A and B are shown apart, each in its own frame.
Chain A
Amino acid sequence: MASSATFSTLVLSSSFATQCNVANRHHQSCFLSSPPKIPIFSIPKPVSLKLTSLLSKTPTFFTIPKSSESDAAVVDVEPDNVEPEPEPEAAPEPEPEPASVVEASKEEPKREEIFAVVMIGGRQYIVFPGRYLYTQRLKGANVNDKIVLNKVLLVGTKTTTYIGKPVVTNAAVHAVVEEQGLNPKVVVFKYKKKKNYRRNIGHRQV
């Protein structure tokens, strides 16, 4: 059931600004995570949800992030300051998801140089471009669906970080649902000693 999706395509989107605006406006936590809980970040589940996270930020920074080594201490993006940060980079980011597989791609020219913290289904994940992620089931997410995650709590590059209060403005992560499935079975065994009480229940989280 575990399908390890490979880093297949690099989606380079040039017009991240427009995408960002569109993505930001239209999608606002439209999907819910259904019951199945997905494992911790360290435990990959068979179902892989590829989330292609496109990290797009319309506000431009006063300095280009890559060249701002001196801005190591500079942090956060205030909603008031419109500082567009050009980060056109889209890398497929697989997200293993017992329920759905989403491939995440961030809009970044270079992979692995940016990361974001995204909240999906009440849980937070650190997301890199082009990496898989396993999350809970998203309602209404079929295979090969493009998902935009707007609840981005933190965006970080090597030199700068954008802290959300609570959400970073104009940041979106695009993801592609790769697969939907169930977790391996877990046996829930309830037992009380000397009271003749035993219940054997199997459970597969979505």
Chain B
Amino acid sequence: LVDVEKNSLFASSFRGAHSRLTRTITQQRIRALVSAHQDRDMKKRDFCHLWITRINAIIRGVGVSYSYSRLIRNLYNKQLLLNHKILAQIIISNRNCLYMISNEIRK
């Protein structure tokens, strides 16, 4: 592929003039790559937010005035190493297991 063709191939799925006009193709290509670069880091943050929200939602159903923050504090005190990703995954797949963990930690 010639470089020009490579360029337009990159933007071939863009909308309107962004896939047809060469100057705008280069501009949009730059913006797309930059966004991809930034969003690769944002992806990690987004997932962490998601896991925290999920854990919080489930934990609040366990008991009165029990929340995500208390769970995490107990986790640290009891020296558990499970991270948020795993906790969220356990929640959706095996809710029982999470209740066991939280009960164990609360003692």
- Report A-chain residues with C-beta under 8 Å of the C-beta of B103: 73, 75
B80 within 8 A of A: yes
How many angstroms between the C-alpha atoms of A189 and B27 in the bound complex?
A: 13
Q: Determine which of B83, B86, B94, B100 lies in contact with A75 in the assembled complex, contact meaning CB atoms within 8 Å.
A: B100
Q: B69-98: contact bitstring with A at CB < 8 Å (1 yes, 0 no)?
A: 000000000111111011001100010110
The interface size bin for chain A is 20 to 34
A165 touches B80 (CB 8 A): yes
- Report B-chain residues with C-beta under 8 Å of the C-beta of A166: 79-81
How many angstroms between the C-alpha atoms of A42 and B10 in the bound complex?
A: 26
A164 touches B89 (CB 8 A): no
How many angstroms between the C-alpha atoms of A188 and B34 in the bound complex?
A: 8
B81 touches A119 (CB 8 A): yes
Distance between A183 CB and nearest chain B CB, rounded to angstroms: 12
A75 touches B101 (CB 8 A): yes
- Report B-chain residues with C-beta under 8 Å of the C-beta of A163: 80, 100-101, 104
How many angstroms between the C-alpha atoms of A198 and B31 in the bound complex?
A: 12
Q: A57-86: contact bitstring with B at CB < 8 Å (1 yes, 0 no)?
A: 000000000000000111110000000000
B100 touches A161 (CB 8 A): yes
A120 within 8 A of B: no
B82 touches A117 (CB 8 A): yes
Distance between A202 CB and nearest chain B CB, rounded to angstroms: 11
Q: Count how many chain B residues have C-beta atoms less than 8 Å from C-beta atoms of the other chain.
A: 24
**Shortest Cβ distance from A160 into B: residue:** B100
Overall SS of chain B's interface: helix
- Report B-chain residues with C-beta under 8 Å of the C-beta of A189: 30, 33-34, 36-37
Distance between A120 CB and nearest chain B CB, rounded to angstroms: 12
Distance between A54 CB and nearest chain B CB, rounded to angstroms: 20
B47 within 8 A of A: yes
A195 within 8 A of B: no
- Report B-chain residues with C-beta under 8 Å of the C-beta of A72: 96, 100
A21 within 8 A of B: no
- Report B-chain residues with C-beta under 8 Å of the C-beta of A200: 33
Q: Determine which of A40, A74, A75, A124 lies in contact with B82 in the assembled complex, contact meaning CB atoms within 8 Å.
A: A124
Report if A191-B34 is in contact (Cβ < 8 Å); known contacts: A124-B83, A124-B85, A153-B81. Answer: yes
Report if A190-B94 is in contact (Cβ < 8 Å); known contacts: A75-B104, A124-B83, A126-B86. Answer: no
Distance between A40 CB and nearest chain B CB, rounded to angstroms: 7
Distance between A50 CB and nearest chain B CB, rounded to angstroms: 20
Q: Determine which of A75, A156, A190, A198 lies in contact with B37 in the assembled complex, contact meaning CB atoms within 8 Å.
A: A190
**Shortest Cβ distance from B33 into A: residue:** A189
Q: B8-37: contact bitstring with A at CB < 8 Å (1 yes, 0 no)?
A: 000000000000000000000010011011
Instruction: Show the binding face of B for A, using Cβ within 8 Å.
Output: 30, 33-34, 36-37, 40, 47, 78-83, 85-86, 89-90, 94, 96-97, 100-101, 103-104
